[in-house]
Copies of this chain bind each other. A is one copy, B any other.
Amino acid sequence: MPHRVGIVGAGRIGRLHAANIGRRVDRLRAVGVADPDAASAAVLAAELDCRAHEDWRELVARDDVDAVLLCSPSGEHAAQIAACAEAGKHVFCEKPIADELAGADRAVEAAESAGTVLQIGYNRRFDRSFAAVREAVAGGRVGAPVLVRVTSRDPEPAPREVMERIPGLFVDTTSHDLDMVRFVTGQEIVEVTARAGSLVSDDARELGLVDTALTTAVTEAGTLAAIDNCWRSAYGYDQRLEVHGTEGTALAGNELLDTTRVADGAGFHAPPLPHFFLDRYAETYVDELEAFADALEGARVPVSGRDGRAALAAALAAQRSSLEGRVVRLDELVRG
């Protein structure tokens, strides 16, 4: 018997999860879709042959729903997680867990009190190469990690109307990479410094957003991590990782469009990188739902609410560092 899942949010990522549930993840079955845009909800529900709701609370209230996939705007996550937990529903929540730390704390606490599963959608942890780097590090192949390098660049800025409502580069983009630093080192981040600018997007500059950033994180063990982000990458979606340790280094390169090279008088030419993040990370979206099914069956949650909270805290610290031009310790955030 598959686990019965309600999907909150019928946008791009909601539809992607729905398709994966339909074709790839046999242990999950979609039984309802909620979206304030009734038409979107209806279309997706029809495809999945299940019920549509305008109000997510209706969906959460249903007895025949075991778990909820939150694909709603991030500002709503915290309250929805808490409501699900109170209703005894397990939750898979897209990142970030919340827009601010207090919400994240409430969400984590609610799920822990209720004893329900709470998994956050840091899908990159399921990438075959990043996971292999973590395994190499955890297996001692590079000794103690001392430097981490993450390159994470988007092919192009989001459209202006999207840019207007996202929480900004650090929470939107860098939080993935900060989570990756925690994932591959197995260490908590204690300090963050970020230098950033509006260098590649007129929209970003006009909206007062940064589009390019270098973020340095320091972990509890003193490991130093450098994350470079940019919202423009002419050659595709660039995603690389390196963990340098006392005994060696482990690198993950980019996935390729194909393995060809053509050589001529001008040299060797290989195709650009995949352009779209949903293509680049397609398999990870399947694998994180398989892991969610495992968690529903008692396995350890692979990306917990606390993981989601930690990534958010580091991202907010980076944002503050960039704004205030100074090194920011994460324990400042708690103190307020």
CB within 8 Å of B: which A147-165 residues: 147, 149, 151, 153
Q: What's the Cα separation between A129 and B23 when bound, in Å? A: 26
| A211: nearest chain-B partner, CB-CB | B146
Partner of A216, one of B132, B146, B214, B267: B214
CB contacts (< 8 Å) of A216 on chain B: these are: 193, 195, 214, 216, 226
User: Is A268 in contact with B267, judged by CB distance below 8 angstroms?
Assistant: no
Q: When chains A and B are docked, how far (Å) is the Cα of A294 from the Cα of B282?
A: 25
Partner of A250, one of B136, B153, B238, B262: B262
Is B268 in contact with A270, judged by CB distance below 8 angstroms?
Answer: yes
Interface size in chain A (residues, C-beta < 8 A):
70
The residue among A196, A222, A268, A326 with the most chain B CB atoms within 10 A of its own CB is A268
Contacting pair B264 A141 (CB below 8 A): yes
Which residue of the partner chain, among B224, B225, B271, contacts A132 with CB atoms under 8 Å?
B271
Task: State whether A235 touches B325 (Cβ < 8 A).
Answer: no
- B129 near A258 with CB under 8 A, answer yes
* Contact across chains for B234 and A136 when beta carbons are under 8 A apart: no
Q: Is A21 an interface residue (CB 8 A)?
A: no
Given contacts A147-B214, A224-B213, A248-B263, contact A235 B195 (CB under 8 A): no
Q: Are B262 and A249 in contact, CB atoms less than 8 angstroms apart?
A: yes
Instruction: Find chain B residues with CB under 8 A from A113 CB.
Output: none
A268 contact set on B, CB distance < 8 A? 235, 269-272
The reply on A197 being an interface residue by CB < 8 A is yes
List A residues 87-131 near B (Cβ within 8 Å): 128-129
A235 touches B147 (CB 8 A): no
Chain B residue contacts of A258, Cβ below 8 A: 128-129, 132, 252
Q: What's the nearest-Cβ distance from chain B to residue A7, in Å? A: 20
Which residues of the partner chain B approach A153 to less than 8 Å between Cβ atoms?
244
Copies in the assembly, this chain: 4
Instruction: Chain B residues near A197: list those with CB within 8 A.
Output: 146, 222, 224
Q: Does A233 contact B (CB under 8 A)?
A: yes
CB <8 Å contact, B270 and A249: no
Partner of A195, one of B193, B244, B325: B193
Taking a contact as CB atoms closer than 8 A, the residue among B133, B252, B264, B271 that contacts A235 in the complex is B264
User: A24–B247 Cα gap in the complex (Å)?
Assistant: 37
Q: Check if B262 sits within 8 Å of A272, measured CB to CB.
A: no
Residues of B within 8 Å of A254, CB to CB, are 259
Q: A222-B197, A327-B193 are in contact. Are A232 and B260 (CB under 8 A)?
A: no
Interface string of A321-333 (1 = CB under 8 A from B): 0000111000000
Q: Does A200 contact B (CB under 8 A)?
A: yes
Any B CB within 8 A of the CB of A228: yes
**Does A278 interact with chain B (Cβ within 8 Å)?**
no
Report the separation of the CA atoms of residues A258 and B130 in the bound assembly, to the nearest whole angstrom. Answer: 9
Bound CA span A131–B264, Å: 19
A-B complex: 6 closest residue pairs judged by Cβ atoms: A235-B263, A248-B264, A253-B259, A129-B258, A268-B270, A146-B199
